[in-house]
Amino acid sequence: MTPDVKIGFIPLVDAASLLVAADKGFAADEGLAVELVRDVSWSNMRDRLAIGHYDAAHLLAPMAVASTLGLSHVRVKLVAALNLAANGNAITVSRALHAQMTQAADGALGNPAVSARALRSVIRDRERRGDDPLTFGMTFPFSTHNYQLRYWMAEGGIDPDHDLRLVVLPPPYMVDNLAKGQVDGFCVGAPWNAVAADAGLGVILHPGCAIFHPAPEKTLALRDDVAARDPQRAAALIRAVMRAADFVRDPENRAEVAALLARPDRVGVDAQTIRRTLDGRLDAQARTAQADYLLFGDARTGRPDPYQAAWLYAQMLRWRQAAFSPEHLRMARAVFDPRFFDAACATAAPPTPIRAFAGPAFDADDIRAYVAAFGRR
């Protein structure tokens, strides 16, 4: 077994268990010498994993499926070996847009159905005045951020491909673009929503888990051929990260974890902001914690399941990123392959059904009917 493992990550709190596994010695306990590389963009992460610059990566879960299917990129077969994190995103809008939505709302903006309809009203008013379309940022087309924005908007009667602009921005650049007025809102992972709110630049509308939950968010991704050649190393890495997830979740360790993530070579954001995220509080005004805001994959929730991949593939179909084929569905489901997890952990639990705040229930056995149901509404 080759002990050296080079792993790329994006500066987000949902990389915490991976960072802690390396920095607190859990990986070393498994005989692994881990080198962590702080990357800037998801496309760069995908490409460096594909060509072998990385042995593993903190990766967007939908990206692992898209890369395997060759959607908008050279086809590279990846395996989602461990669910690193579920949920953790939020939708934030500028203070000016929030004020306009508040004026247009027919109820409490904390309700996603109400806020989506309010956004539609703002969009229609802008169209009548001849104003430029609103612009929202998301981290990558194949991401739960994109799907959360689209799902929420569509439930309010907004066509996200024609009524506004969706642009791709790396997570650390979201706040600067909001400050400069280049975007009116965004969906991004922690801690960047909190950074925008703390700076007085934006208002957090909804945590991602209010749109659908639990959202398959980040995966520990490996190239399938590399993992197959050295399954022991893959299992050792999974064990180390799951031990780290237990450490991260323990309230007694959160101050230490926040300080670790605050380092400039890790997430590079104020430790107090990161600590609030770990506690489930989106911003400084949040008086109560939200237990489901960000979930780190452990022995119970970390097991990848083909059901989750099928759900992600269904979102790609809905938004015309892919055309349905039985072979593509089979390939997508195979990405969330639990064999490496099962080799590392004797505990197995069925996946929690993914449920949205509105819309049809997801049926993994008939995803074409699920997708078609949106068009009939």
Torsion of CA 352, 357, 359, 363, to 10 degrees: 0
Which amino acid belongs to residue 191?
Answer: P
Range of the domain at 335: 4-87+215-370
Name which of 331, 356, 366, 364 is nearest 66 in CA terms.
331
Q: Is the pLDDT of residue 1 over 70?
A: no
The pLDDT tens digits of the residues spanning 242-271 come to: 999 999 999 999 999 999 999 999 999 999
Q: Is the pLDDT of residue 288 over 80?
A: no
CB 72 within 8 Å of CB 66:
yes
User: Which pair of tokens denotes residue 104?
Assistant: 């247009």
Q: What is the pLDDT of residue 285?
A: 79
User: Which pair of tokens denotes residue 249?
Assistant: 């979740």
The model's confidence at residue 2, banded by pLDDT at 50, 70 and 90, is very low
Judged by average pLDDT, the poorest of 116-120, 125-129, 278-282 is 278-282
Strand residues in the chain grouped as ranges (E): 4-9, 33-38, 56-60, 78-87, 89-94, 135-138, 165-168, 185-189, 202-207, 212-213, 216-223, 294-296, 355-356
Q: What is the CATH number of the domain that holds 35?
A: 3.40.190.10
Of 258 and 4, the one with more pLDDT: 258
Q: What is the pLDDT of residue 246?
A: 96
Judged by average pLDDT, the poorest of 227-241, 277-291, 345-359, 363-377 is 277-291
Task: Tell me what the mean pLDDT of segment 47-55 comes to.
Answer: 95
Domain count, the chain: 2
Q: Which of 153, 184, 213 is the last residue in one of the domains?
A: 213
Q: Does residue 30 form part of some domain? A: yes
The pLDDT tens digits of the residues spanning 204-229 come to: 999 999 999 999 999 999 999 999 99
User: Dihedrals φ, ψ of 207, to 5°?
Assistant: -70, 150
Q: Is the pLDDT of residue 111 over 50?
A: yes
Of 287 and 324, the one with more pLDDT: 324
Residues 127 and 14 in one domain: no
Which amino acid belongs to residue 102?
Answer: T
Residues 233 and 315 in one domain: yes
Residues 244 and 361 in one domain: yes
Q: What is the pLDDT of residue 73?
A: 82
User: Dihedrals φ, ψ of 367, to 5°?
Assistant: -75, -25
CA dist 149 and 361 (Å) reads 18
CA dist 152 and 270 (Å) reads 30
The pTM assigned to this predicted structure is 0.96
Residues 357 and 209 in one domain: no
Mean pLDDT of the chain: 95
Q: What strands, in cross-sheet order, belong to the sheet with 165-168?
A: 165-168, 135-138, 185-189, 89-94, 202-207
Name which of 97, 96, 63, 102 is nearest 79 in CA terms.
63
Q: Does residue 99 form part of some domain? A: yes
Residues 82 and 116 in one domain: no
Residues 35 and 142 in one domain: no
Cα-atom radius of gyration of the chain, to the nearest Å?
A: 20
Q: Is the pLDDT of residue 60 over 80?
A: yes
Task: Tell me what the mean pLDDT of segment 348-375 comes to.
Answer: 94
The pLDDT tens digits of the residues spanning 131-185 come to: 999 999 999 999 999 999 999 999 999 999 999 999 999 999 999 999 999 999 9
CA distances, 153 to each of 129, 146, 182, 186, 312 (Å): 21, 11, 20, 12, 18
Percentage of the chain beyond pLDDT 70 is 98
The model's confidence at residue 3, banded by pLDDT at 50, 70 and 90, is low
User: Which pair of tokens denotes residue 210?
Assistant: 């209010």
Q: Is the pLDDT of residue 377 over 60?
A: no
CA dist 103 and 68 (Å) reads 45
Which amino acid belongs to residue 255?
Answer: A
User: Which pair of tokens denotes residue 23?
Assistant: 């920095």
CA dist 285 and 185 (Å) reads 19
CA dist 336 and 179 (Å) reads 38
Task: Tell me what the mean pLDDT of segment 11-25 comes to.
Answer: 98
What is the DSSP annotation of 125-154?
HHHHHTPPPPEEEES-SSSHHHHHHHHHHH
CA dist 294 and 202 (Å) reads 20
How many distinct helices (H) and strands (E) make up the chain? 17, 13
Residues 31 and 17 in one domain: yes
Q: Does residue 340 form part of some domain? A: yes
